[in-house]
Amino acid sequence: MPSAVSLKEVAAALSEHWSPRVVGEVDDSFVKVAKVHGSLTWHSHEHEDELFYILKGRLRIEMEQETVDLSEGQMFVVPKGVRHNPVAEEECHLMLIERKSTLHTGDVVMEKTRSVDEQLRPV
C-alpha cells in the first residue's frame, strides 16, 4: 500500500538548492519538491505549463511582462512558452507540478540543470 508523503519534510531534507526531486506522479505529470535560494536562470518551457506552490518562504517569479511574488501557501502557474526566472532572496521550499516531458531549465542547459534521472534519485 502506498504511504503518505510529507512535502515539507522531504523539502527540508534536501541538501542541494535548485535540484528538484520527484515525490509522486499524477497521470503524465511529476510532483516534485525543491529547496531553492538565489536565482535559477531565465528559461521557458515551450510546450508545458509549470505549477509552483510555496511550502516555506517566499519566491519571486520574474517574467518579461510581469513579476509575481509568492509566499507560503500560494501557487502560480507559469504558462507554456513564457520566459521566467525564479528567485528566492532567502531559502524557499516549494512543490512543482510539471509534465514528465518538462526539462528542468527548459531551453537552457547550465551547471544547475538537472536531468530527469537526477530528479528521480531518492532523497
What tens digit of pLDDT does each residue of 54-113 get? Answer: 999 999 999 999 999 999 999 999 999 999 999 999 999 999 999 998 887 778 776 777
Longest distance between any two alpha carbons in the chain, whole Å = 46
Q: What pTM was computed for the model? A: 0.89
The domain 22-101 having CATH identifier 2.60.120.10: the answer here is: yes
- Residue where the block lists cell 515551450: 46
Helical segments of the chain, H only:
7-13, 116-119
Domain limits, the chain: 22-101
75, containing H or E segment:
strand 75-78
